[in-house]
Amino acid sequence: MTASSHPIRAVGDRSATAESWSADPVVGPALVAVDTDPARPWTVAALAAEAGVAAPVFAQRFREVVGTAPLTYLRQRRMALAAEYLADPSATVAAVARRVGYVDPFSFSVAFTQERGTPPRLRPGR
């Protein structure tokens, strides 16, 4: 994983905590799973299964370690990845939407705008 694609980028530049998040036996596996397959229709139960713990235990531990709910983190991470993917001149909004787990480009655009404060940038010819 490159520095620019590390999950920490999704929720701010907290590089000092990157190691502790990834090293946590409950949170770490979920972070890896999200980065490996961000388009998967993740639920708290599915993320908990990656960590090998019950969903309530996972959700509480995730909040303690990361400081946000798992699905909030997931949305933030997806939008951070989307911003990276949109920098590729050959990318389209629809393709990026699918790549981060949205079937509908319109829903993706609304979510992206809400999360990032600006709509996904469209380049000429897209």
DSSP calls for 64-111:
HHHSS-HHHHHHHHHHHHHHHHHTSTT--HHHHHHHTT-S-HHHHHHH
pLDDT-based confidence at residue 63 (cuts at 50, 70, 90):
very high
Other Cβ atoms within 10 Å of 4 Cβ, number = 8
pLDDT-based confidence at residue 21 (cuts at 50, 70, 90):
confident
Domain ranges of the chain: 3-76, 80-116
Say yes or no to pLDDT of 42 above 80: yes
Whether 26 contacts 57, CB under 8 Å = yes
